[in-house]
Amino acid sequence: MERQLEALTDLLTQQAEAAQRAQEEGQRREEQLNHLLERMVAQQNSQSTSRTGSDDTSSSSNTFTHGVRFPASAATTPHLTSSASLREFDAWRHKFEVYVTLTKINMLTRTELH
């Protein structure tokens, strides 16, 4: 009986470690994807400003003030249920931080938020 408990404990530990590694790998991939998307948006913005020229300085200065922003409509806002566990909350918090970074909603003024 004791050996079975030890074997079960070892299996549960291995499973928990594998789940943690999988979660970390998923977060790493999501961060890489967000970085890639930000670079693509920045490249697209730089190409569009080079095509239009520098005649309109107000729009180009606004772009540099707020930085590159992924369209909020292209990214879905992560949702959190009221019955979420601590692990689900942690995953949601990470997704929300990525969403904020990607859309740069923290850089918007109050009028732009409404």
86 pLDDT band (50/70/90 cuts)? very high
Residue pair 84/92 in contact (Cβ under 8 Å)? The answer is yes
Q: pLDDT > 90: what percent of the chain?
A: 25
4/106: higher pLDDT: 4
- Rounded to 5 degrees, φ, ψ at 55 are -70, -40
Q: What residues make up the domain containing 32? A: 2-113
Give the predicted TM-score (pTM) of the model: 0.39
Quote the number of domains for the chain: 1
Mean pLDDT of all residues in the chain? 77
Q: What is the pLDDT of residue 6?
A: 92
Measured from the Cβ of residue 34, the count of other Cβ atoms closer than 10 Å reads: 16
At residue 74 the predicted structure's pLDDT band, cuts being 50, 70 and 90, is low
Average pLDDT over residues 94-114: 81
Q: Could you report the per-residue pLDDT of 24-65, keeping only the tens digit for each?
A: 988 888 888 888 877 777 776 676 666 555 444 444 444 444
AA identity, residue 20 = Q
Spatial contact of 34 and 102, defined as CB atoms under 8 Å apart: yes
pLDDT attached to residue 103: 79
pLDDT attached to residue 61: 41
